[in-house]
Chains A and B, each alone.
Chain A
Amino acid sequence: MPRPSSFATLPSLGLIAALGLPLAALPSQAQAQSWRSVTMSRQFSGEGAMDVRVHFGAGRLSMGPGEGGVLYRMQLRYDEDSFEPVAEYAGSRLDLGVKGTRRNISWRGHESQEMDLRLARGVPMDLDLEFGAVRAQLDLGGILLTRLDLSTGASESEVEISEPNAVRMTSAGFHVGAADFRVGSLGNLNADRITVDAGMGRVVLDFGGMWQGDANVSVDMGLGSLELRFPVGLGVRLTKDTFLTSLDSEGLVKRGNSYYSLDWDEAEHQVTVSVDAAFGSINVVWVR
């Protein structure tokens, strides 16, 4: 007698379909590439608030604050057969990065592309970062961020905010596809609201840095592990809406539907973290 085993194969089929189809859709190994190195920079000339957008499809990316007098300095190494640099500056809008010269460009074979971007320290900016399959190391410390929106696909990204943001930011958003994603010193962002939207992978959120106000942090995870690293002394309230997700709530006590740090009521700054996750784990780590 046939058995309803087809139901049991659904997860496998789903995984195969989800992971296999995009790979199968990719063209065969990229052709020989023609590398082009470009260095671009623009002098600071009293710009006010700016809207900066950075696009980078695939490769290695590094980013950080620049030297005085320079609005941006960008060094690129890319395949000129498939990509072209973007450096458009008009009004208060600045577009930087590399974009494909045609549709449906495979990122396979373009892992060796490189981009190093330095942005001015003293210019308030809404920063919109859009990456594909990248290995990124970003240091946003020292850049005056009024808004941050980072969107990345399949990446291994490490974001560090090494210096406190001198202006209060209304919102910071991290949208991650399949990634090993780490954000360090979130406190230095100086943000009212932080949103992390992750598909699958491993996400580490380090809440270190200098907190200058309370914040709400919202984390939406699909599949994967989430590690929340809190500095001792920070007031933390954790609420979760999870499905088959384990929680290691070290150092937190449950009150009602939320988990609180022991010093929540006395803490100078309080951070509320809301986690919506399915299939994975949430680990809380306290850092001295």
Chain B
Amino acid sequence: MSGFDRIPLLCALALPALLPQGIEGQLRTVVSNEIAVSEREASLRLEFQDDASLAISFADGTILVDGEPLGTFVRRDALDLAWRSLLGEVVALDNGPLATALHDWAPPEALTGEAAQLASLLDRTMEEALALPMAAADAEPPPQMTISVPGEESLLGALLRRTGALGILAEALEDVPLERAIVRVGEDVVVEAGEELEGTLILVDGDLEVRGTIRGDVVVTGGVVSLREGGRITGDLRLAEGELERSGGSVGGSVRLLDAGGETPLERGDLEELRRDLEREIRRDVMASLESDRKRSPNMVAGAFRNVGRAIAGLLENVVTLLVLATLGALALHFVRERLEVVATTARRAPVRAAVVGLAGGFLLIPVYVLGIVALAVTIIGIPFILVWAPLFPLAAALATLLGYLAVARNVGEWVAEQEYRGLEWIRGSNVLYIMTAGIAALMVPCIAASALRVLGLGFFTGLLTFVGSTIGILAMLIGFGAVLITRGGRIRPLESYSDFDEDFWADPGPVSPTEPPKPPKPDADPLRENTEQTPEHGEERDA
């Protein structure tokens, strides 16, 4: 069986020799288990309470035990089916029942040849891994074998910490008879003069001083063998990562030195520790990075759908608002068109003045409203009028604001028409309702863009555009409301001084001469008519 010699030494040598009889029933605590089955893989992974683990995997034609190849299999052959059958039986079990089921598993008798050997090996591997490790002091040594480990630690623990040297130790132990082995781990051994030691001496991480006789082979890993005067080894001496100091003495057999590439156990151990530290560090960094990403984007899918939903809701809200305002605009054009035109003209000619008046009017609304109620309340005859004043004043204010906003929107629509934007040519030749609708849409452009941007979840830009849109809307309402107040609801046509107000407001006054004669009054022309005549794009007259 080709895979057999690749079994970790832990399974091949130490545990079979160390585990005493009658250990069944005293199984390790399984703290974590993972059973995975797919077409290409059937694997079992166990973690034990003492941080040890066992992983057996049938994957892609190879049987792996703790990552080491154990043998080969063919998908759906008897061994593969037996293994999958076992996993199917234990998949619903945890801890104790799981450990017992795995420990008690016996390979099917139908298996033959290499499959039977591999199954037997798997069985033994699981039994050994699941059995409780016994402290050497408590373990009754098997006949013909002595084991010694320092103090409180177990041989298994000691060997596990020397996994880096296990490969070379396995090589050193090749063909060495183990029936009468003496195993020492992590301690020095001295064979005094006149003393005789019978059997194979295996010394791991310890020094050996020989003054007497060892009747058998000696295998030393990670230590120094001092062969003193009179010292004798009748068999072979094999040194794995060790040194030999001879000052007399003899070796009856061969002396074989094995080296793992010049690395000392300590160096290898340090490297292993370093590797683990690096792994921990990288894992911590990756987890921190993932955590950071997760906090930034808790759920991309959910977020995307929420954004789409909000964008659609926002756009629909904009469209409905536009339609409602356009409908109100149509009503205004139908019922109070002349007044709307007067307000629009005033807002166009004196926007700053209208805005200032609108702002002042806005601040005065509530005081006027309250004062009106108080004034009506102090007289008996006025009290009934409170019932009219209370609801009608806010309504009138709202209508005035609406009328003003529509008038400004009409002006904006005209401005858009004059720009000759591609695709918007139809506005120029349209009637005044379309022009006004285009103006409303233009005033709402930032809000519409903000709604659309919600799809991308660009919170800052969405907020910025919403702010800009709100500012534009409020400004339009202020100018419109002011124009309504100036024209008394569109009943008073704009005065000449109004038309000049803004020009004067922004113009450089230049040197003021006290002797300058007063400006002659302009002809008493109707500014609305004049404007209509001078700007052919104001096609509402034609359409009307």
A130 CA to B299 CA in the complex, in Å? Answer: 7
Contact of B429 with A by CB under 8 A: yes
- Counting CB contacts under 8 A, is B94 at the interface? yes
| B426 touching A1, Cβ below 8 Å | yes
Interface string of A189-229 (1 = CB under 8 A from B): 00000000111100000000000000000000011100000
Contacts of B91 in A (CB 8 A): 39
Task: Evaluate whether A178 and B309 lie within 8 angstroms (CB atoms) in the complex, with A34-B38, A244-B320 already known.
Answer: yes
Inter-chain contact A152/B38, CB cutoff 8 Å: no
A197 to B307, CA, bound (A): 11
Q: Are A14 and B315 in contact (CB under 8 A)?
A: yes
Interface string of B26-62 (1 = CB under 8 A from A): 0001111111111111000000010000000000000
Which residues from B are CB-within-8-Å of A43?
A: 29-32, 94-95
Q: How many residues of A contact B (CB 8 A)?
A: 59
Which of A3-11, A136-144, A161-169, A248-256 has 4 or more CB atoms under 8 Å from chain B?
A3-11
What mask results when residues 5 to 37 of chain A are scored 1 for a CB within 8 Å of chain B, else 0?
Answer: 001101100110111001000000000001111
Evaluate contact between A7 and B319: CB separation under 8 angstroms: yes
A198 to B308, CA, bound (A): 11
- Asked whether A98 is an interface residue with its Cβ less than 8 Å from the other chain, the reply is no
Q: In the bound complex, what is the Cα–Cα distance between A18 and B309 (angstroms)?
A: 8
Q: How many residues of B contact A (CB 8 A)?
A: 54
Asked whether, in the complex, the Cβ of B34 is within 8 Å of the Cβ of A151, the reply is no
A11-B319, A22-B304, A222-B313 known; A41 vs B298 contact (CB < 8 Å): no
Instruction: Answer whether residue A133 sits at the interface, using C-beta atoms and an 8 A cutoff.
Output: yes
Report yes or no: B317 in contact with A278, Cβ–Cβ below 8 A: yes
Note all chain B residues with C-beta closer than 8 A to A19.
308
A interface, by DSSP: helix, strand, loop or mixed?
strand
A176 and B302: CB pair below 8 A?
Answer: yes
Residues of B within 8 A of A15 (CB): 312
- By beta carbon, the residue of chain A nearest B87 is A39
Question: How close is B85's CB to chain A, nearest CB, in angstroms?
Answer: 14
The stretch of B202-210, B434-442, B481-489 that contacts the partner chain: B434-442
Which residues between 115 and 142 of chain A lie within 8 Å of chain B, taking CB atoms? Answer: 130-133
Residue pair A175, B31 in contact (C-beta under 8 Å) = no
In contact, A223 and B309 (Cβ under 8 angstroms): yes
Chain A, residue nearest B29 (CB): A43
- Determine if B310 is an interface residue (Cβ-Cβ < 8 Å): yes
B468 interface residue per 8 A CB criterion: no
A110 at the interface (CB under 8 A from B): no
Q: Cβ of B306 < 8 Å from any Cβ of A?
A: yes
Q: How far is the CA of A85 from the CA of B32 in the complex (A)?
A: 15
**For residue A176, which residues in chain B have a CB less than 8 angstroms away from its CB?**
302, 306
Whether a CB of chain A sits under 8 angstroms from the CB of B455 is yes
The answer, yes or no, to whether B11 is at the interface (CB within 8 Å) is no
- Decide if B301 is an interface residue (CB 8 Å cutoff): yes
CB interface residues, A 240-288, toward B, < 8 Å: 243-244, 278-279
B309 A177 Cβ-Cβ under 8 A: yes
- Give the Cβ gap from B395 to chain A, nearest Cβ, in Å: 21
Distance in angstroms between the alpha carbons of A175 and B307 in the assembled complex: 12
**Given A4-B438, A34-B40, A14 and B316 touching (CB < 8 A)?**
yes
Does B430 have its Cβ within 8 Å of any Cβ on chain A?
Answer: yes
Known: A40-B33, A153-B299, A177-B301. Contact between A18 and B311, CB under 8 A? yes
Question: What would 15 more interface pairs be, CB under 8 Å, given A39-B91, A151-B298, A223-B309?
Answer: A4-B426, A7-B322, A7-B323, A19-B308, A39-B36, A40-B34, A42-B32, A80-B38, A130-B294, A132-B299, A133-B301, A175-B306, A177-B302, A178-B308, A178-B309
Residues of B within 8 A of A (CB): 29-41, 49, 91-92, 94-95, 283, 287, 294, 298-299, 301-320, 322-323, 426, 429-430, 434, 437-438, 441, 452, 455
Closest 5 CB pairs of A and B: A177-B305, A153-B301, A199-B309, A222-B309, A36-B38
6 contacts between A and B (CB under 8 A): A1-B430, A8-B319, A38-B34, A151-B299, A152-B301, A197-B306
